[in-house]
Amino acid sequence: MEQQGSIIGSLMPLLILFAIFYFLIIRPQNKQRKEHAEMLAGLQKGDKIITNGGLIATIVKPEEDFIKIKLNDETIVKLDRAFVAKKVEAGNENA
């Protein structure tokens, strides 16, 4: 019985560290990844986005794996969905 108490006592700091690690790192990353995936799935024609390269573009045609985007009046390119950093909200266009 004495030995079981010492095993639990020695594992308790590791369990506490794991719990702290989970709540401060793993859980927020999972939440952020889920929100980003939902944002990618909800992209529609006319939405303004910012790419991972920092380009601000307007979606012309969302496709399965790629998105056709318009960079200016003449330039339309295809972009992999994985390279969309974020969607620009209507109120943040000048930011």
Q: Which pLDDT value is given to residue 95?
A: 47
Digit-coded pLDDT (tens) for 23-75: 999 999 999 999 999 999 999 999 999 999 999 999 999 998 899 999 998 99
Task: Write the DSSP string, the chain.
Answer: -HHHHHHHHHHHHHHHHHHHHIIIIIHHHHHHHHHHHHHHHT--TT-EEEETTS-EEEEEEE-SSEEEEESSSS-EEEEEGGGEEEEEPGGGTT-
95 assigned to some structural domain = no
44 assigned to some structural domain = yes
Digit-coded pLDDT (tens) for 5-19: 688 888 899 999 999
CATH number of 38's domain? 2.30.30
Residue numbers of the domain that contains 41: 2-90
Is 0.85 topped by the overall pTM?
no
